[in-house]
Structure 1
Amino acid sequence: MTTSRSTYHHGELRGAVLAAALDVIAAEGPGALSLRDLARRAGVSHAAPAHHFKDRTGLLTAIAAEGYELLAAALAGTPGLRERGVRYVRFAVDHPAHFQVMFQPELLRADDPDLLASKERASAELRTGVADLSNAPDTRTAGIAAWSLAHGFATLLLTRNVQGAVGDRDPEEYFRSLTGLLFSEQLATGERE
């Protein structure tokens, strides 16, 4: 996306660089990111993105923080553990570039306050899905099991490793069937007996 410099006014550059970065990550992965290339795509000087992000790590950290906010919003108010898993898979499909970056801590500034706050909001939403399980003796372990299933399926889906198995089926429905195979109905739905 090449845009003339006159298009951008104060405040629009940050969003334009983030959007261009997400396009690059979705197409080529986070390793392909270059602030200089993103500046060229946005039609600004090569130093302009550094005013907002400082460096590549700052840009990736901002993407991860935004991703955790989007994930928290996607999970908010969702009843039952199974449907939270479905929303998690939907988030990954709808935001593949965010998803790629969020779970690669070596790319991020681990102590960034925005990242920490947004990560905690998303974690709280994930924990809410397992908090009311009455048949799980260890809700933390149950939560990790559920997260592993949702995250693993989303990752396999995005990397096209289950394309043959899923075929033309809706990935969300396919995920629901997976939870039915591995968890009791009560655990999958979060309902009490």
Structure 2
Amino acid sequence: MNAIESSRRRNGDGAARLLAAARDLLDTHGADHVTIRETARRAGVSHAAPANHFADRRALLSALAAQDFEEMAQLVEAATDGLPPASLPRARAMADAVLKYALRHPHRYRLLWRADQLDITSAPLNEAMERLYANLLVTIGDDPDSEIEPSTSRSLALWSLVHGYVSLTIDNLFSLQADERTGAPRLHAMIELLFAD
């Protein structure tokens, strides 16, 4: 291994160590407690070392969010694999995967929507977000007979419903209950309204 390869490996390892330390802070205390100085301390490096990998706190949080979007997108893809596009079963599976992720990692889920703390121009962050959104478009499907863009409006409606329900649930404002009429999980019953003729 030459000196350049060795330096690249050390830099990659350093970024990974910093991200792991920042993720630990995020999972334990939430995004507001993730600082460059504390991340460096937990990673066992000098407080100046993170500047070699992340321009500032916003860049560090954006790197975390990109990883988290990727992880959630993978879970959604696994949950919806093999289910037909524009179908209620696929929409339910997508929603269940998002809810499961948020319940397991509430601080990570909250960070994903913190535009005040993220660099929304970050290419890796946008690519990860697009991966999740692409699945959402397949889930809601297209209506070729419509003169408007139904996939965009319906996908936004589905996402707003799922995100709102999930956010209120992880903030303990909603509880996981069944629909009074059908007995289905509340989230499923709400999604059915979007697919009703």
Structure 1-normalised TM-score?
A: 0.76
Shift of 1:132: 5.5
Alpha-carbon RMSD: 2.9
Larger radius of gyration: 2
State the partner residue of 1:86.
96
The 3 A distance-change label for structure 1 pair 124 and 15 is same
Match of 2:3 in 1: none
Q: 1:29: how far off?
A: 2.2
Cα 1:20–1:84 shift into 2, 3 Å = same
Question: Structure 1 residues 124-133 or 67-76, which shifts more?
Answer: 124-133
Equivalent pair of 1:86/1:150 in contact (CA under 8 Å): no
SS in 1 for 2:60: helix
Specify the alignment match of 1:128 in structure 2: 138
Point out 4+ residue stretches in structure 1 off by more than 4 angstroms: none
Cα distance 1:133–1:187, how it changes in 2: closer, same or farther (>3 A)? Answer: farther
Structure with more relative contact order (C-alpha pairs < 8 Å, separation 6 or more): 1
The answer to which of 26-35 and 50-59 deviates more is 26-35
1:113 equivalent to 2:114? Answer: no
State whether structure 2 residue 50 is matched by structure 1 residue 40: no
Distance across 2 between alignment mates of 1:71 and 1:120:
12
Tell me what 1:154 maps to.
166
Task: Report the counterpart of residue 86 of structure 2 in structure 1.
Answer: none
TM-score (norm 2): 0.74
- Tell me if structure 2 keeps the 8 A contact 1:133–1:139: yes
Identity level (%): 30
Partners of 2:32 and 2:190 lie apart in 1 by 37
Consecutive unaligned residues of structure 1, counting only runs of 5 or more, are: 1-8
> 1:182 & 1:130 partners in 2: Cα distance?
11
Structure 2 unmatched ranges of 5 or more: 1-8, 84-89
1:91-110 matches, cutoff 5 A: 91-110=101-120
Q: Is the Cα–Cα contact under 8 Å of residues 75 and 126 in structure 1 kept in the other structure? A: no
State the shift of 1:95 in Å. 3.0
Instruction: Count matched residues.
Output: 173
Q: CA deviation at 1:150?
A: 1.5
* Contact 1:71–1:122 (Cα < 8 Å) also in 2: yes
For the pair 1:179 / 2:188, whether they are aligned, the reply is: yes
Query: Which position in structure 1 is the counterpart of 2:87?
Result: none
